Structure 1
């Protein structure tokens, strides 16, 4: 009898997640590995931009389109369909299918013979990764109660930063040794065995999670979208993160190039400092914010979203230091020169990571269990339409526009200007925290 079968048949119907702590931990770690790999494949492109540009001879603007809209269009278009499939069919099935697809497409990036083929492969990577996060969040929401859910989702959110260090540092090391194509091919390989693991050992939906009028016979796609959009705090969270991530996704694509152009780092140095700094800050911020929110909301439900709002507002002064720091500035520690931008990356990663666990946990509390994957997908779609589709290409465009006047410093100024949007994201989150307790009360009266 497999683990997933044991979960369904051995436990009493409606058994609480706390009765299966070893299996809960196993699933959390498996989903963490899967999502870390997904983000590694996503961030790998940014560290390979110089090598790809050198081989294919294409501009920053075109690379920004491939790294931004070229990936995000398919990701956005497929997120809600995959989420509907997960809510109505099988969450583990969608996860296994998605991991197989994005791994195969990542390998295809390494085999691309020109920019068009690379763009097509990135488009398919986006399709596969669209099926990763929403089912994962739904699975965790069903396994963890409200008292620990934000912490569990914070751990899952840390996969973004484990993936960042794997994609940037691992990708840079592989590319330096064997070339950029090998980096795509090698990081694609682990996705296939992980897909098999989630299929054979992942949890099946428990009967009590499908209520009458939900699941296969539940509301249609657009009805669900309207339902989620009408929840004001959920809408404001999506708009807030999306606005913040116009800058955030621009940084994800262009920060390695900024480290190389303005601070004289090699591709390996940029990948190491950016990957390690962002990972330390991001992992700490993801896990700490979820745990803190689980405690703070006992004093008031508004803290579920107030904490991320404060973190976003603090990001702006941090970014001023990041993008006005002279090239080469840093501190000496035991004979090692630590660049100042690397230290700022730790703080920036911490602040930028504080939204995910609390926000996805809030979404899970505001909707029915059978609609959690779709609610997560709606957040992801709005965030990416606003953030990912605009940020990388706009930053590349502004950088190209300023090149004649500023030369190699054009990217620094482009990113500094766009960091103003972190303030707007924080203010939207603050408004969401005001409405969140009322939306919870309205849910409880239904």
Structure 2
């Protein structure tokens, strides 16, 4: 392999990563300005939560059709268009004069972001060997957490120093600048030139045949894939709650000012991102020869997160509480990389972006959209602290789905091998 062949895939990974930073900066900057919006427009927690959840809801509803369209129209062109839409929509958030306009602008942010994760991961993974999938998936998805960190921390500082409108404006400008950079260095022609075939699959993984388009029904006809979808979505329920509500939690129960709460919350979100990377690397190391270990590690991360967060939120406010919540945050999305790798292993390359779109759909509906909204509704009735104490119970469903998926995995790989043979016949 030449130097160019080794370097360019990492260039694409890096640019896809920083563009994902922009994606989540646009999504999560809202959390930093919750206290300002609540005071200025007298909003309830459930209405604040709707501003957050509408983005994830649109991602969930549109990710599958837009991923399917990207598989046919061109993945790189689709990524550029998506980034333009969410950046412009973030500018519209800055000029909203009432709740309805802001909700509409957030709706458009969700439209722009809908398929970026699924299509971006498909572009990146197509250029690397299968044994790196959990690590790369975890690292790329961690860009969402790092973007959330920057969005929450920077948004809080700008809102205090200037106004909450400037928080949205700064994030939007950053996104548009990254679009230009991505467009200059990444083209579909170059990406296609560096494609990595799946014929080098790790031991125990199905081998695929290029040049054929698999039926869309194969995305849902394999039981283990469906378990990966559900397990991933439910573990993200809590991972989505933390960035959305930790700033308000710190503001209300630890008496922190909005800018300080945003800065401290950024540490928790950073831990989520670091945890995704570390958990992905550990999973690849442990499952290199035995792919079924991906399921075991994913379930273990979810169990650890549940235990740490349940204990943490039930302690009195103080340093120990924050330490345990931080430890729980580290593992809260640890199953994301392994789950994405499982979907890749069980999805034909011709429809892999659409497969990741299905994963994003479930991630959004069960986790990213549902989590913050449910906690917001519960907070209006029970109080925010009590709502956060209940949230980790979602991990019970995640662990159950992942363990069932492990049991069904051998049959799933056999099913995909049969599909490949039928397509090449």
Task: Give the structure-1-normalised TM-score.
Answer: 0.85
Distance (Å, rounded) in 2 between the aligned partners of 1:342 and 1:36? 25
Shift of 1:203: 4.4
Distance (Å, rounded) in 2 between the aligned partners of 1:160 and 1:53? 25
Instruction: Spell out, residue by residue over 1:133-155, the C-alpha distance to the aligned partner (whole angstroms, 9 max, x if none).
Output: 11111111211001222222222
Instruction: Spell out, residue by residue over 1:249-308, the C-alpha distance to the aligned partner (whole angstroms, 9 max, x if none).
Output: 3333222111111111111221111112330x2233222222222221134221122111
Distance (Å, rounded) in 2 between the aligned partners of 1:83 and 1:22? 27
1:233 alignment partner in structure 2: 224
Contact 1:18 1:144 in 2 (8 A): no
2:192 alignment partner in structure 1: 206
2:203 alignment partner in structure 1: none
Distance (Å, rounded) in 1 between the aligned partners of 2:262 and 2:134? 30
1:190 maps to 2:164? no
Q: Secondary structure at the match of 2:355?
A: helix
Structure 1 segment 360-439 matched on structure 2, within 5 A: 360-402=340-382, 410-439=383-412
Shift of 1:94: 0.6
Structure 1 segment 281-296 matched on structure 2, within 5 A: 281-296=271-286
1:64 maps to 2:49? yes
Shift of 1:191: 1.3
Residue in structure 2 matching 1:276, options 267, 276, 288: 267
Structure 1 segment 14-53 matched on structure 2, within 5 A: 20-53=5-38
Distance (Å, rounded) in 2 between the aligned partners of 1:283 and 1:73? 22
Structure 1 segment 323-334 matched on structure 2, within 5 A: 323-327=313-317, 329-330=318-319
1:163 alignment partner in structure 2: 147
Residue in structure 1 matching 2:127, options 112, 133, 143: 143
Distance (Å, rounded) in 2 between the aligned partners of 1:398 and 1:438? 40
Distance 1:298 1:430, change over 3 A: same
Distance (Å, rounded) in 1 between the aligned partners of 2:84 and 2:413? 37
Distance (Å, rounded) in 2 between the aligned partners of 1:17 and 1:163? 33
1:257 maps to 2:234? no
Contact 1:17 1:24 in 2 (8 A): no
Distance 1:185 1:17, change over 3 A: farther
Distance (Å, rounded) in 1 between the aligned partners of 2:391 and 2:277? 27
Instruction: Spell out, residue by residue over 1:397-446, the C-alpha distance to the aligned partner (whole angstroms, 9 max, x if none).
Output: 222112xxxxxxx2101110122112221221122122223312332233
Residue in structure 1 matching 2:104, options 102, 116, 120: 120
Distance (Å, rounded) in 1 between the aligned partners of 2:368 and 2:277? 24
Distance (Å, rounded) in 2 between the aligned partners of 1:109 and 1:201? 29
Residue in structure 1 matching 2:291, options 298, 301, 304: 301
Return 90-99 or 144-153, whichever deviates more: 144-153
Residue in structure 1 matching 2:115, options 99, 111, 131: 131
Shift of 1:184: 0.4
> Can you give the 5+ residue segments of structure 1 that lack an aligned partner in the other structure?
1-15, 331-339, 403-409
Instruction: Spell out, residue by residue over 1:104-127, the C-alpha distance to the aligned partner (whole angstroms, 9 max, x if none).
Output: 001111110000000000000000
Distance 1:90 1:200, change over 3 A: farther
Distance (Å, rounded) in 1 between the aligned partners of 2:187 and 2:329? 32
Return 195-204 or 229-238, whichever deviates more: 195-204
Q: How many residues align?
A: 404
Provide the aligned C-alpha RMSD in A. 2.1
2:77 alignment partner in structure 1: 93
Distance (Å, rounded) in 2 between the aligned partners of 1:314 and 1:180? 36
> Can you give the 5+ residue segments of structure 2 that lack an aligned partner in the other structure?
198-208, 420-425
Return 24-33 or 200-209, whichever deviates more: 200-209
Shift of 1:19: 6.6
Distance (Å, rounded) in 2 between the aligned partners of 1:27 and 1:233? 30
1:81 alignment partner in structure 2: 65
Task: Give the structure-2-normalised TM-score.
Answer: 0.89
Distance 1:72 1:149, change over 3 A: closer
Distance (Å, rounded) in 2 between the aligned partners of 1:18 and 1:79? 35
Distance (Å, rounded) in 2 between the aligned partners of 1:399 and 1:45? 18
Shift of 1:86: 1.7
Shift of 1:29: 0.8
Distance (Å, rounded) in 2 between the aligned partners of 1:26 and 1:130? 23
Distance (Å, rounded) in 2 between the aligned partners of 1:179 and 1:374? 40
